[in-house]
Amino acid sequence: MIAYVLRRILSAIPVMLFVAFFVFALLSFAPGDPAALLAGENATPDDIARIRANLGLDQPFFTRFFHWIWHVLHGDLGTSLFTGQTVGHMIAQRLAPTFSLMVLTMIVSVVIAIPAGAWAAWWHNRWNDRLVMLWAVLSFSIPSFVVGYILAWIFGLKLRWLPVQGYVPFDQGLWASVQTLILPAFALGSVYVGLITRFTRSTLIETLSQDYVRTARAKGVSNRRILFRHALKNAAVPIVTVVGSGVALLISGTVVTETVFAIPGLGRLTVDAILRRDYPVIQGVILLFSFLYVLVNLAVDLLYTVFDPRIKY
Amino acid sequence: MTSAFFHFLRRYPTVAVGGLLMLLLVLTAIFAPWLGTQDPTQIAPLYRTRPPSAQFWFGTDLLGRDVYSRVLYGTRVSLTVGFSVAVLSTAIGAVIGVIAGFVRWLDVVIMRIMDGFMSIPTILLAIALIALWHESMRTVILAITIVEIPRVVRLVRGVVLSLREQAFVEAAVTAGASPWRIMVRHIFPNTVAALIVQGTYILGVSILAEASLSFIGAGVPPITPSWGNIMAEGRALWQIRPHLIAFPAAFLSVTILAVNMLGDGLRDALDPRMSKED
Tens place of pLDDT for every residue, chain A, 313 residues? Answer: 677 778 878 878 888 888 888 888 877 777 666 677 667 777 778 877 887 777 777 778 888 888 888 888 888 888 887 788 888 999 998 999 999 999 999 999 999 999 999 999 888 888 988 899 888 888 888 888 899 999 999 998 888 888 888 888 888 888 888 888 999 999 999 989 999 998 899 888 888 888 888 888 888 888 888 888 888 888 888 888 888 888 888 888 898 999 899 899 998 898 888 778 788 888 888 888 888 888 888 888 777 777 776 665 5
Share of chain B above pLDDT 90, in %: 27
Burial class (CB in 10 A: 0-12, 13-18, 19+), A86: middle
Interchain CB distance below 8 Å, A248 and B121: yes
Interchain CB distance below 8 Å, A259 and B123: no
What's the pLDDT at B272?
57
Distance from the Cα of residue B227 to its chain's centroid: 14
Interchain CB distance below 8 Å, B120 and A271: no
Burial class (CB in 10 A: 0-12, 13-18, 19+), A309: exposed
Q: Any bridge partners for residue A79, and if so which?
A: A86
- ipTM of this complex: 0.83
Interchain CB distance below 8 Å, B121 and A29: no
B203 versus A170: the higher-pLDDT residue is B203
CA distance A292 to A305: 21
Question: Could you tell me which of A310, A296, A283 has the C-alpha nearest to residue A78?
Answer: A283
Residue pair A67/A56 in contact by the 8 Å Cβ criterion? yes
Residue pair A102/A293 in contact by the 8 Å Cβ criterion? no
Under the banding of pLDDT at 50, 70 and 90, the label for residue B1 is low
What's the pLDDT at B271?
65
* Shortest Cα distance, chain A CAs vs residue B225, angstroms: 18
Average pLDDT over residues B197-218: 91
CA distance B104 to B111: 11
Interchain CB distance below 8 Å, A275 and B253: no
**A157 → closest Cβ in B239, B257, B261:** B239
Question: Could you tell me which of B139, B113, B115 has the C-alpha nearest to residue B127?
Answer: B139
* Shortest Cα distance, chain A CAs vs residue B253, angstroms: 5
Q: Which domains does chain A have, with CATH numbers?
A: 2-73 (no CATH), 88-307 (1.10.3720.10)
Interchain CB distance below 8 Å, B257 and A286: no
Closest residue of chain A to B208, computed from CA coordinates: A143
CA distance A21 to A66: 10
**A198 → closest Cβ in B121, B256, B277:** B277
From chain A, the residues in CB contact with B127 under 8 A are 255, 270, 274, 282
Interchain CB distance below 8 Å, A19 and B123: no
**A271 → closest Cβ in B204, B216, B277:** B216
Question: Could you tell me which of A228, A242, A240, A237 has the C-alpha nearest to residue A121?
Answer: A228
Interchain CB distance below 8 Å, B119 and A19: yes
pLDDT digits (tens, 9 = 90+) for A149-194: 999 999 988 888 888 888 888 888 888 888 889 999 999 999 899 9
In a mutational test of the A interface, the residue from B78, B113, B123, B200 whose CB has the highest number of chain A CBs within 10 Å is: B123
